[in-house]
Each structure stands twice: as structure tokens, then as C-alpha cells.
Structure 1
Amino acid sequence: MKPPAIKFFLSIFFAFFAINFQAQYIFNLPLSNRQANYIIRVNLNTENKMLTAVQKLTYINQSADTLTELQFHAYMNAFMNNQSTFMKESNRPGSSGNPEWDFGFLKINKLSLADSANLLPSLTYFSPDDNNPDDRTVFKIKLPGKLMPKDSVILNFEFEVKLPKIIARTGYERDYFFIAQWFPKIGVYEPAGMRYAKRGAWNCHQFHANSEFYSNFGTYDVYITLPQEYVVGSGGKLMDKKEDAKGLTTWYFRAEDIVDFAWTASKRYKVAEKQWNHVKIQLLYQPEHKDLVQRHFDATIAALEYFEETLETFPYPHLTIVDPPFYGMGSSGMEYTTLFTAGSFWNEPEGLRFTEMVTVHEFGHAYFMGMLASNEFEEAWLDEGFNSYFETKILDHYYGKNTGLIDIAGIQIGDFEFSRSGYASLKNKGMAEIYRNAWDYPYGGYGVYSYQKPAVVLQTLEGIVGEKVMYQILKTYFKRWKFKHPSTRNFIEIAAEVIEANSNGNPKFDINQYFSQTVYGSGHMDYAVTDISNQLKPGAQGWFETTGNLAVKNEKSTDQYESYVQIERFGEVILPVEVLVKFSSGREVLETFDSDQKRFRLKYSGPDRVVSATIDPNFKIPLDTNVINNSYSITVKQAAKRKIFATFLFWLQNFIQFFI
């Protein structure tokens, strides 16, 4: 947009700010500490793909520390050029066409305190993670005075955004806009003790190719002005909508107790609505996806019901689902607390539950990324891993354990089975540990170690302690830490507490050792039955002393067998596992193998032979990466078929991972 037009719009916006602002409230009492509160007025120029905006941020120093600087994210600058940290880590060469249109940026034109003190000269871009001089996704400002504990500061911004073509789930394509990570957003100041920080410091990382976000809770009053023919949706509740004589419409949305605000606009949107208890669900869908409307609603309501039962009722009265067009699929699978983008295809068969999988997964983030608001930069598994665990539970519960994801043309695949394959099929399963910065995973490791392996770790924990105790752990964790930014240590402490409370004074499972191996360690688990041996117990032969004399015995073999089942551990992770041993008579024995030995023999003596042995017969320990060697039988084995199926799941996992 040309400079005169920018000045015109900004003058209008500041005139609005001069009016005494009175917000309409959603909740009678705040759900969170509301540390960062935004009022934003933005104009979208649909021709130039530009945003011009003014922003008023009220930030409260809720720590006991005195602050002299503030740090901010400018995420949109990740797409400014091909030398940004995001672009380098993504291995993106740059523009495939016109750089002016493909790239984007966020430019701050004015920055001042409420008393008009100019802060723009103190604005400095810096790169705390890699010192990249070409990365401008983090900046800091020097305050003219001190921000004392419990005091607040008001900052006024004027900024403009050049939207990129859709990349990393933001931008535009044709007449479709998905506007995310678009405004200057203050980082999180962590005082000593928060997430076990040793001293107070800003937590404000750059935008990386493999990282998402970490933000303060607050309120958002956002006024969006654009041409009247566009339909708009956002993570806020629509409070007002006004048209003017110039063909523009201003949409006013308010959101409370969320950590970010995203919105979308398109001429092609159709609107469908559904009421679930107190939640008004709005679906913005493509005309060609009309037959998928009910599937979106059914999947969303299934997730709402499941989370209500296992964690807590979704507290917000509004929820927006965005169905991107095919040409805008680069924005699919993105989550915000009260808005998410789904992903679907025209004429998608009912037995292929891609729509349901993306819908359930993205909604689930409202609990982990949204209400718990863990640090996705440094502990991605607390969001993606927990959410992937719940995704598999919900899909397999509502659509069938073996058909939760695919049930078409004779092919049946459960969602957990599919998710597990992403980790189990990995050649180098020990390439990284779960607990590390999201951008520090080796190439190809982020999806596995923040989504799939964590889901398997949690499912294995459930198998060990039981579903009832597992849900007690998760519910306690959520209720105690909602709206408080928990850490991995916080979760482990609660897990230990709940397990201890259910142990009847006789704890048998060391939760700290478990997470030391599975979250902080990089080892994998692989137990195998490697041999079965049955030998008739021989009769006595040789010289034996009887009543003081030696005599020769040459007895025939007895009808008793001496049998051995050999168990071997090929991985580093040590866990107690059950072993089901079957005998020729039909007798069965269920053993618990709990040893750190690399090789061990189970011994039996009796009139019947061992015919088979199976480790983890009830599949309680899905962390065991090779289930093919879990069984040994003197009959024909099905290992070859299982190996082919595992390979198929691996490639399918890689395809679908792109969308979530």
C-alpha cells in the first residue's frame, strides 16, 4: 500500500483509540492471570496483500523482579528473506517466482508509551538462539524507566505486514487469507522458579523451522476491516459487525484467557453452525466440501465429550473451525485455543478418516497448547505428544480400535497403530531424546520425538499403571496446572504422586526411572523370545550310592519335560514385561519378567511341553519397537506379513504427518 493510504488508515485507527474503550466481557471471572492484553485495529488490503494496524498492549509485570527491557516476537519476519533462521533450517532456496509477492515481513513504524515517549530508537533486533544477523524474528526495547513488580506498562504500536504466499500455516493464496503470527507479540518473562528457572529471564526464542510457540495469557479485542464480500472468522467471539458506505466491513472480535489470536477471510466461505451444550461451533467450509460438514461437527463433538470426561469441560463459549481450500492446504492443521484449521479433500470416503483425524488432533491442542500453555519451543512433547496420545484415544474409541483411521476396501488401521508405526519403523530409533529444544532434533526427528514417540510413551505408561490411574494422573495434572505454563518436571511429579497414592504402600513401579529412560534418554525398547527348548527329563544313569554300596542304574527317560523359554533384551530401555507361556496340554502361565539381564531363561518342569511364548500378550507395552520377535512358537510364524505391514504404515505416516 502507498504511504498516503497508510497514513489515512492509521489516522482513523488512532481516532478510535482516543474514544473511551469499554470492552464487552465473556467470562464473569478471569480464567487466567491475563498478563498481556491487546487491542488491535487492522485493515486488510486484499489487493496488495497488506495489513496496516495499530496495537495497544497492556503488559503487567507479575513477577517479583524489576524489568528494564521487554522482548517481543516478530514471527512474520521469518518469511522476510531466504537468510532467516526459519528459511535456512527449512532448506528453502527462496522464491520460485516473484520475491516481492512470495516473501513477507512485519515492519514497526511507530512505538511509544502511553505518555507518548518514543521507544522506536531503542528497538533492537537480535538472535538469542543462533546469532543470525539476518534473522529479525525477535526484538527488544529499552524502557525509559523501571517496570516494578505488579506494575503495568502500556505500549502503542503502528505496524504493517506484507503477507507471504502461504507458508508455515500463514499468509494468502488467491482470495484466501489465513492470518497467524502477524502482530508484535511480547515474550514470556520467567521469574526464578517458573518451570524451574534458576533466575529470572526472558524466554523469547526465534522462529525456527521446527518449533511452535510460547505466550502469555491475556485478552484480545480485535477490529478487522476489509471489503464487505469477505467472510471473516477468528479465535474470538463476534461482538459487533458494521458496514460503511465505502464497501468495507469492520468485524469486532473479543477473546479472553487465550495465548494468541489468529483470523481468516475468504469470499468463498460457507458458514455452518452447531450448538454443543454451552459451545457455539462455527464451521467455515468450502462449497465443494458440503458433504463433509457433519463429519467435522461429529469429530469435534466427539473430542469435546472425551475431554470433558477425562480432563475438564471446554470452558469457552465459542469455537471456530476453518476448512481451507485445496490451494490453501499449506494452512491446514494449525491450532489456536478457540480456532483451528482442519484439512479435508473433495469426495473423501467415509472409511478414510483424514478429516476426523485432523479435526480431533487440532481441537485437542486447546487443552495443551491453549489452556496449559507449555513451552513449545523447549518442551514440544508436552503439547504435541500429549495431544497425539489423546487423538489416538478419541479416534479409536469412537471409530473402532482397529478402524480408527482407515476402514476401506478391506484395509483397517487404528489411529494408535498408525501413530506408533512412525516411531517403531524408524531405522535409528536412538537418534535423539524427547526432551530437547524443538530446533535441536536431528533432521527428520522433530515429528517422531515430539508427536509419535511421546504418544507411545504415554500409552505405555497407561499399560503399566492402568487406564484408571492414568486418567487420574492426567486430570490431576490438568486441574493443577491449567493456565500456569507447566514443565516436564511438573508432570512427572504429579505422575509419581498419583501412582504412590494408588500403590497401597507398596510401590512397584519407579516413575522417575521410567521417564529417565524414555523422555530424558534416547534408548529404545526391544524384548524378544529367542528360543524354546523341551527335553524329556532323563532317567537315572550311572553309579549311585545305595546303603553304603555303589550300584549301576540305567533307567529310561521319564514322562516329565524340562522346558526353557529364552528371553533376550536387544534395546537399552528396561521395563517389567509379561510373558504368556502356553503348554501342549492347553495350560497357560503368565509370568512377569523384571530383570536388567540381557539374556534370561524361564524354566519349567512337568508332563507337558512348552509350545509357545509371547511377550506382552495384551499389548500393554507398545514402546517395544519390534513386536515381530515378541512371539516364538514351534508352529508357523507370521513374521513376514507383519514386516510388510509395518513398512506400509511407515510410508503412510510420513504422508499424513505433513498435515498435522
Structure 2
Amino acid sequence: MSYDIEASLDPGRSLVSGRETIVYRNATRSPMQDLKFHLYPNAFSNTHSTYMRGISWSDETTLARLGRMAREGSWGSMKVGAVRLSDGADLTSRAIIDDTVMSVPLPGPVPPGGSVRVEVEWETLLPRTFHRMGRWGGHFDIMQWFPKLAVFTDTGWKIYPFYRYSEFFADFGTFKVTLSAPREYVVEATGVPGETRDGPGGTRSVTYRAEDVHDFAWIADRNALIARRVYRGGPYASAPVEIVYVHQPYRRRMVPVILGAVEEGLRFYGERILPYPYPRIVVDDLPMGLGGGMEYPMLFTTSMAWFLPRFDTAPQEVTLHEFGHQYWYGIVATNEFEEPWLDEGVNSYVTRRIMERAYPPRAGRTADGLHAYIAARLLDEGLEAKLGPLTLDLDQILGFRATPFRPVEGGLLGYPVSAFFLDLPGMGDGGFLYSKQAYAAVARDNPIATPSWGFRPGSYTGIVYDKTDVALETLGRLIGKDELDGALREYVRRFRFTHPTGEDFLTVLREAAARARPGLDTRSCVDQLFNGTGRLDFAVASLRSRETNEPRGLLPAPRAGLGPIDRRAAPVPGKLAGYETEVIVARPGEIVLPVDLLVRFENGEQVRETWDGRATWKRFTYEKEARAASAVVDPEGLYAMDLDRNNNSLTLDSHRAAIAPLVLHWLFWVQNDLLLASSLF
């Protein structure tokens, strides 16, 4: 498939005018009777589009943005002016548009192996930045902006309306795109640019070319600065990659942070997965945190507030996450309508792995980290105190309930700051804990393998991003991180520049698990983690030890004809036969997997057992010289997906002193919060 596009931006009208010539080859075994196009900008054209009707009723922030769009009339849309075949046949009157989908019947079928050449003229009205595309002041994100053919398969076209939580799916091809904009605008795009040319009316044009990509995006900004760096490390010595960071003037201090994060991504993927196959990558830093992070071939957006504390690692995390999409969305182009987890979920896992390696936790006192963590939670969520019928809401008192750019619920800074992405002394594992917390809230709502339109409202992110992350972390601990990296590498190698499915991915995982853990039922393990809604939870339900004396009473004789053995006398004081210990382990969750149990005794002896986990509970008993000290199920913490690690262990005797420092620190902060609140009145 190939696209030859000419397009121009009129900033004053927020309008992109274009024409395209598409050559599409029917690579299937079925005749192609029609053409189907995505018209994504129509998602932002009215309050009743499929996209807008998919906004959750509880998503007050997005609903408020929709209300503002309605008040301003700042809608977006796409007008298709003409559709013609290369032989001159005009198909415009045949084209039928339904929301974000356009169907164009062909005069005759295109046979398997045949090609069709179609020409389209259109105009795209850019909305005020809403989601993934739009305009804000002098900044234009021109994405999902042209009539784009869907994917034709043996069973027909794979095309769906643009849902609120769906993303994209398209065929690989070549793009030659000539872009025109006013000369004062900085323009960057997918592909490799040619020489710029000045045109009439103060315009400037440039042609970008890209191969083996399935989309094309571009940006234009009259205020932006550009920072560049060429990365030649490791496998890129003979194929260097140019990193282009497009940013606002007030973001100058972020240049080394963002460029450094992209280098970390190139290094990790190049060494452990596959070297980045394109000659350049563009980072579009959206002004004032608008629009959100989003991925396109050879270009991605990031979205950050105008000010962030230096110990906040969210910019690095967002940059690495969006860069990672170049692989899980770009190189292996899965169907994100039907299987969003194959991109977002796998990418979330790898992003966290890179963050843990590239930005390890700072050394220091955990108490200091706790102080900063609590302070960050206050900045993120605000402080509300119930005072009888009244609510003391500190962020409202300070006037930071909303910003000029978007409403913010809670948040003393006027924008969200996730306390899980802070580089705090003595505290680590924040990224994983964030994923686990988000997954726990929606654990049973949907399987990971759910189409984008099939999620219970509010559960999409927790399942697609976080549950997948935690499931892969679990599998990585079971089979080894290197073995899992090998599986990801094999998946990309086997399916690069194609459209793999979830079953393709799971097949590679099962193969890796079978090699690493021959005794593990790999199909059951993988299927339960990815295709089910069961929770994984093991527990030590009880731990007891009691003294064992010599038996008392009348003991049966060993042979017939003999009388019972008289043991009715009291035992000799202080003479013990030892201790009997009982451990009961339980499986409160529905996922059935084998698990280890480690029992420690007071004399230092240890006993390790393996429970198959098939029943909902099991009793283990021991006769030892010493009492039990503790019992731990899953002692190595292999099951990262275990929803409640607190019930995984018990000690025979309680140890209240361990919690005392945390209690004292908590009381200290409560006292300070109350003092602050009292000073306001």
C-alpha cells in the first residue's frame, strides 16, 4: 500500500486541506467489493458521536471538556469532497458516511493479487485539543487527520467506529507527504524530511518520506523550539538515530531529561528486543499538558504540566511509554480495536522495567521518603476533613480547584501529581505498586483479552494497562526475567511488520514458560492470567504449635491376648516429647496454581512444601523439637499478581514493635495537618 499526500494548514481557520492518491493491493484470497475508510476527526464533531457517547458518566473531567467544546462550538470534523478512481470514475456519490466510517462501493471487485488506485480530496477541521489531536493557540497536533483505509482480510474489512477507548489499526505501507504551512511555523512529522521550499502567500512546504509504517502524523507550532541529538550507542553505531524534541520555550530545562529518556529506550530495546529500525524519532511536547501522550510511527506526543518538581519521574515514564509504542503499536501492528492489551499492556510492563533499570530508587532513609510521599499525596488529591455537616477542603480554600486549561478534582497544585512516580529516598517499586493498586480495584471486571468497547465503565485502564503489567511481572518471576525478555524478543522478531493476534503472543509465552518451567502447566497458567477474571490470592489461614507429651491413658496392646498398656499416670514434669505444629493454607482467589510454603521453627530448622493449589485449603502438620516461628506462602514473592500479600504470612507470636515507627510518623503528619487547618481560621 502507498499514500501520496499533499496537504496545507490554514491556522486562522484551523483547517487542513488535502488530496491523496492511495494504491492498495488486495493481498488476501477474497475479492474486494468496496473500500472502507476511517474518518477519525468526525469523533469530535458532535455530542452524539460514538466516541462522545462512550465517555463514562463518572469521567467528570472529560465531560466538562465536552461541555466547554459545546459552549465554544470548537468542534472538529472531516468533509470528503471527492472520491475518484485513477481511470476517472467518480465514486463520490456512492460514498456513504456513518460517524467515523466511510464505505465506497467499487464498480467491480478487485481480485486477489489485484490493486486499486483511488484519489480522495478532503478538508479536516481541527477541534480545540480534546484527545490525541486538535489545536491550542499556535500549536496544532494534526493526527488521524486524513481519510485512512482500514485493513482488508480474508473475511472482509476490519473496521469499527472510533470508540472512546479504542485506538487504531491499519496496514503497513509507504508514505510520501508534502506539507505546507506559514513560514513562521515549525513543522515536524513522521518520516524523513527533504528540503524546504518557500511558496506563495508566505508559506513553506516540505516533503516527508516514510517506509514500513502504517500511519502518518504531523505538528505545526509558531512558538516551538527544537533540540536534536544523534544516538550512536550499542547496536546503533552503524545505524544512528536522530532524536528531535519539539518543545515550548518554558520547557528548556527538560531537554536533557527527555532526550536522555529516549536514549534509555533506544538502549534497552536495542539490546534486549530489537534495534529501532527507523532513522529518526520526533517527540512532540504538548503545551500546558494538553491532549495526552499518544503514539504514531516515528513520532509521539508527551503531555506534562508547566511545572513539575525535580523528583517527579513522570516525564521520563511518559516519554519511555510513548517511545515503547514504536514497537508494540508500530513494528508489531496489532488490532487495537479488538485487543488493546497487546500494545498498551505489554508496553506498560516493558516501560516499568526500563524505569527500574534506568532510574533506580535513591538511597536514603525511608522515613524521609514517607514524609515526601504523604506530601505528594496531599498535592495530588487535596485535603478534605469532615467537620460535622461541613467539609474542610484545603485546595478549595487555596483556590486551586481548577486551572485555566482543565478542571482538576482535588490537587493542591491544580494538576495531578502521582505519588507513585516520585524519586524518593528509601522508597522504590512505585511503578509496580501503582499498577497493582489500579488492577486490584477492577480485578474481576473483565479479562485482559477484551475488545476495547467491551469494558465495564471505569475499568479499561486498570485491566488493559495495569492487569497486563502485573500478569507479565508474575510470569517473569515464574520463568525468569531473561526468559521473558527472550519471549518478547522472539515475538517481535517473528511478527515484525505484520498483524499478530493475542493468540500469537500467548503461544510465544507458553513456549518460553515450557522451556523454563517444564513441570508447570503452562497453558493453564497463561490462560488463567490473561483470559480469565479470577483473582490470584494465597494465604496462611492459621499457624499453631502445641506441646506434645508422652501419650496418656490405656494404649491398645500390640498383639491379641495382651492387656492394654497403662499410661494413666501423669507425665514427668518438664519432660516434653516436642511440639506439634499445624499450618493451614488457603486459596481465597479463583486462580489455581502451585505455590510453595516455607515454615520456620524457633531452633532455625526450615521445612519447604509445594501445594498444588487445587483445593481451596490444605492442612500441613509437623512434629518437631521446637515451636514454629513463622509460615510464609509464596516466600519468594513469585506471584506478583497476588492481590493481598498481607495474608501470605503469619508469625506464631505477634511483634507489635515493628509498626511503632510508622504509627509515630503517621501521628506526626496528622498533628501537622490539624495545625495547618486550625491556622486558616
Note if 1:309 corresponds to 2:271. Answer: yes
Moved more, 62-71 or 428-437: 428-437
Match of 1:120 in 2: 92
Which one of 73, 76, 82 corresponds to residue 104 of structure 1? Answer: 76
Unmatched 5+ residue regions in structure 2?
58-62, 233-239, 364-419, 667-681
Of residues 138, 145, 148 in structure 1, which corresponds to 2:101?
138
**Counterpart position of 2:415:** none
Instruction: Pick from 329, 344, 359 the counterpart of residue 384 of structure 1.
Output: 344
Partner of 1:489: 503
Give 5+ residue unaligned stretches, structure 1: 1-35, 127-135, 192-199, 646-660
Residue 348 of structure 1, CA deviation: 2.5
Q: Work out whether residues 289 and 345 of structure 1, in 8 Å CA contact, stay in contact via their aligned partners in 2.
A: no
Residues 543 and 551 of structure 1 are in contact (CA less than 8 Å); yes or no, is this contact kept in structure 2? yes
The alpha carbon displacement at 1:125 in A equals 2.3
Question: Pick from 575, 579, 584: which aligns with 1:566?
Answer: 584
Cα 1:515–1:412 shift into 2, 3 Å: closer
Could you give the per-residue CA deviations for residues 330-379 of structure 1, whole angstroms, max 9, x where no partner exists?
A: 32310112111123334423321010010010000111110001111111
Worse-superposed segment, 474-483 or 44-53: 474-483
Could you report, residue by residue, the CA deviation over 1:600-632 in whole angstroms, capped at 9, with x for unpaired residues? 122222112111122223222111011111121
Q: TM-score if structure 1 supplies the norm length?
A: 0.85
Match of 1:255 in 2: 210
Residue 272 of structure 1 corresponds to 227
Residue 295 of structure 1 and its aligned partner are, at CA, apart by: 0.6
Q: CA contact under 8 A between 1:407 and 1:413: conserved in structure 2?
A: no
**Equivalent residue in structure 2 for 1:89, among 54, 61, 74:** 54
1:393-451: per-residue Cα shift (whole Å, max 9, x none)? 00011111689932237765532222222112x1x521111111111100111101110
Cα 1:639–1:251, aligned 2, differ >3 Å: closer, same or farther? farther
Q: Residues of 1 paired with 2:304 and 2:435: CA distance?
A: 19
Counterpart in the other structure of 1:649: none
State whether structure 2 residue 665 is matched by structure 1 residue 615.
no
Select 2:15's aligned residue among 35, 39, 50.
Answer: 50
1:320-469 matches, within 5 Å, as 320-326=282-288, 329-400=289-360, 405-408=421-424, 412-424=428-440, 426=441, 428-469=442-483
The whole-number CA distance in structure 2 between the counterparts of 1:123 and 1:536 is 86
Question: Which of 183, 203, 215 matches 2:158?
Answer: 203
CA root-mean-square deviation: 2.2
SS in structure 2 of the partner of residue 115 of structure 1: coil
Deviations 1:286-312 (A, max 9, x none): 111111111101111111111112211
Partner SS, residue 331 of structure 1: coil
State the 1:564 CA deviation: 1.5
**Cα distance, 1:84–1:631 mapped onto 2, change above 3 Å:** same
What is the one-letter code of the residue matched to 2:492?
A: F
Which whole-Å deviations, capped at 9, do the CAs of 1:11-52 have from their partners, x for residues lacking one? xxxxxxxxxxxxxxxxxxxxxxxxx31111111110010111
Percent identical: 31
* Whole-Å separation in 1 of the counterparts to 2:526 and 2:152: 28
Structure 1 CA distance, aligned partners of 2:362 and 2:153?
44
Measure, in 1, the Cα distance between the counterparts of 2:296 and 2:135: 18
Match in the other structure for 2:34: 69
Equivalent in 182, 189, 193 of residue 238 of structure 1: 193
- 1:78 is aligned to 2:78: no
Amino acid in structure 2 at the alignment position of 1:523: G
SS at the partner of 2:478?
A: helix
**Does the residue aligned with 1:320 lie in a helix, a strand or coil?**
strand
Size of the aligned set, in residue pairs, is 585
Which deviations, in whole Å up to 9, do the C-alpha atoms of 1:111-148 show, x marking residues without a partner?
A: 1001110011111124xxxxxxxxx1011111111211
1:476 to partner: Cα distance: 1.3
Show CA shifts across 1:57-77 (max 9, x none): 111111121111111111110
* Residues 1:610 and 1:461: Cα distance change in structure 2 (over 3 Å): same
Task: Report the CA distance shift for 1:245/1:181 in structure 2 as closer, same or farther (over 3 A).
Answer: closer
Is 2:181 aligned against 1:167? no
Contact 1:95 1:103 in 2 (8 A): no
CA contact (8 A) 2:69 2:75 kept: no
> Contact 1:324–1:341 (CA<8 Å) still a contact in 2?
yes
2:547 aligns to what? 536
Deviations 1:189-210 (A, max 9, x none): 122xxxxxxxx12110110001
What displacement does 1:511 show? 2.1
**Do the aligned residues in 2 keep the contact of 1:169 with 1:330 (CA within 8 Å)?**
no
User: Letter of the aligned partner of 2:217 in structure 1?
Assistant: A
CA contact (8 A) 2:479 2:516 kept: no
Counterpart Cα distance in 2 of 1:439 and 1:236: 32
- Residue 601 of structure 2: aligned partner: 583
Quote the residue 2:534 is aligned against: 523
| Aligned residue type for 1:614 | V
C-alpha distance in structure 1 between counterparts of 2:597 and 2:309, whole Å: 40
Kindly provide the amino acid, as one letter, of the partner of residue 534 in structure 2. G
Provide the C-alpha distance between the structure 1 equivalents of 2:295 and 2:194, rounded to a whole number of angstroms.
Answer: 22
* 1:479 aligned to which of 493, 516, 520: 493
Instruction: Describe the shift of the 1:294–1:188 C-alpha distance in structure 2 as closer, same or farther (beyond 3 A).
Output: same
Change (3 A) 1:75 1:245: closer
Q: Deviations over 1:154-196 (max 9, x none)?
A: 11111001110011110001111111111111111122xxxxx
Q: How does 1:178-193 map to 2 (within 5 A)?
A: 178-191=141-154
* 546 and 379 in structure 1: CA distance in 2 versus 1, 3 angstrom threshold: closer
Letter in 2 for 1:275: V
Preserved contact between residue 290 and residue 303 of structure 2 (Cα < 8 Å): no
**Structure 1 letter corresponding to 2:531:** Y
| Secondary structure in structure 1 of the residue aligned to 2:423 | strand
The equivalent position to 2:655 in structure 1, one of 636, 645, 657, is 636
